[in-house]
Amino acid sequence: MYCELHARSAFSFLEGAAIPEELIAVCAERGMSAMALLDRDGVYGAARFHLAGVKAGVKAHVGAEVTAEEGGRYALLVKSREGYQNLCRLITKMKLRSAKGEGSVTAAEMAEFSAGLVCLTGGEEGVLAQELEQGGSSAAFDRVTKLCELFGRRNVYVEVQRHFCREEEARNAAAVEIARKLKLPLLATNGVRHARPEQRQILDAFTCLRHHRVLANAGRLLSRNEIGRAHV
């Protein structure tokens, strides 16, 4: 049974359209045994997500997407109590020194607080996608190699998402090649952003707000919210 390990909730401001309880409810309806919530730069919804999971009999994994100083976001999953503590330390350090919405963590901080965390290479905002866009496959290979040094080879998963768009297919091909060369496991996720199809309209409105557009001229920005990729 497939389990979604890279979802966002409404606690990812303007990037998610479902509250944690809704995500868990749909998992339970569909017989999924587990789900992971990785909201942007915070664990605000983690407690509600966990409690909803306990009530519904769904294993609720927590983590966060943490903005990296070098660009992109670390997609981090907690695998132990120490990992949760380290994730909170990273987010706290980032928030205390930066204006709202502008924080990032340094490579040195990531190295200091990487214990107990599993790193995914991420979707379109992830570190692998960032390097592919800015530096090509060689830069992406080097970045993933660095992730192995930071987190340990057993704690890095090369993430692939498939929503039938050209840019993503090219990224997946590069990701598979990097995984093969470094002998890293692949992990398929769906980048879930809402729980039910009808919440797509809410997500479209959020996307327009985030990019300072109106629905009439949002164009391809809204194609990223396609129902096939966005809900559980």
Block residue for tokens 């704690």: 155
- SS3 of residue 117 by DSSP: strand
Mean of per-residue pLDDT scores for the chain: 92
State phi, psi for 60 to the nearest 5 degrees: -100, 105
Dist. CA 170–CA 173, nearest whole Å = 5
For 135-165, b where at least 16 C-beta lie within 10 A, e where not — what string?
eeeeebbebbbbbbebbeeebbbbbbbebeb
CA 77 to chain CA centroid, nearest Å: 9
pTM attached to this predicted model: 0.92
Dist. CA 110–CA 128, nearest whole Å = 16
Dist. CA 147–CA 169, nearest whole Å = 22
Partners of 159 in the β-ladder: 187
pLDDT at res. 227: 35
The residues of the chain scoring below 70 in pLDDT are 219-220, 223-232
pLDDT at res. 223: 58
pLDDT at res. 230: 44
Dist. CA 222–CA 205, nearest whole Å = 9
- For residue 151, give the H/E element and its range: helix 127-151
Cβ atoms of 19 and 48 closer than 8 Å: yes
Q: What is the pLDDT of residues 91-145, one digit of tens each?
A: 999 999 988 878 999 999 999 999 999 999 999 999 999 999 999 999 999 999 9
Dist. CA 16–CA 88, nearest whole Å = 21
pLDDT at res. 228: 38
CA 156 to chain CA centroid, nearest Å: 14
Helices (H) and strands (E) counted in the chain, each on its own, are 8, 7
Dist. CA 126–CA 17, nearest whole Å = 20
